[in-house]
Amino acid sequence: MWRMILRLDAENQFLGTLALLHNVSFSGYPLSYWKDKKSLYVIVAGTARGEEKNIDLLFRELKKRPEVLTIERSKDFAILITKQPLYSEPVYNPKIIRPNPVQIHKEGHHLWDLASFDRSALTNVWSFAKKHLNATLLTLREEKISNISVTRLLPELTEKQKAAMSLAVEHGYYEYPKKINMERLAKIMKISYSTYQAHLKKAESKIIPGAYAR
- In a domain? residue 135: yes
Same domain for 74 and 176, yes or no, is: no
- In a domain? residue 149: no
If we measure between CA atoms, which residue out of 108, 82, 83, 101 comes closest to residue 19? 108
Q: What is the pLDDT at residue 163? A: 86
Helix 182-189 and helix 159-170, axial crossing angle in degrees, nearest 10: 120
pTM: 0.75
> 142, 166, 201 — which closes off a domain?
142
Same domain for 44 and 102, yes or no, is: yes
* 139 vs 153 pLDDT, higher one: 139
Same domain for 129 and 26, yes or no, is: yes
- In a domain? residue 32: yes
- In a domain? residue 73: yes
Residues 104-120 have a mean pLDDT of: 91
Q: What is the pLDDT at residue 211? A: 57
Same domain for 16 and 67, yes or no, is: yes
Same domain for 30 and 91, yes or no, is: yes
Q: Which domain covers residue 187, as residue numbers?
A: 154-211
- In a domain? residue 132: yes
Residues 42-51 have a mean pLDDT of: 90
Same domain for 57 and 125, yes or no, is: yes
- In a domain? residue 161: yes
- In a domain? residue 147: no
Residues 136-151 have a mean pLDDT of: 87
Structure confidence by residue, pLDDT tens digits, 73-97: 998 899 999 999 999 999 999 999 9
- Residue 214 — very low, low, confident or very high, per pLDDT cuts 50/70/90? very low
Report the percentage of the chain scoring pLDDT > 90: 61
Same domain for 19 and 66, yes or no, is: yes
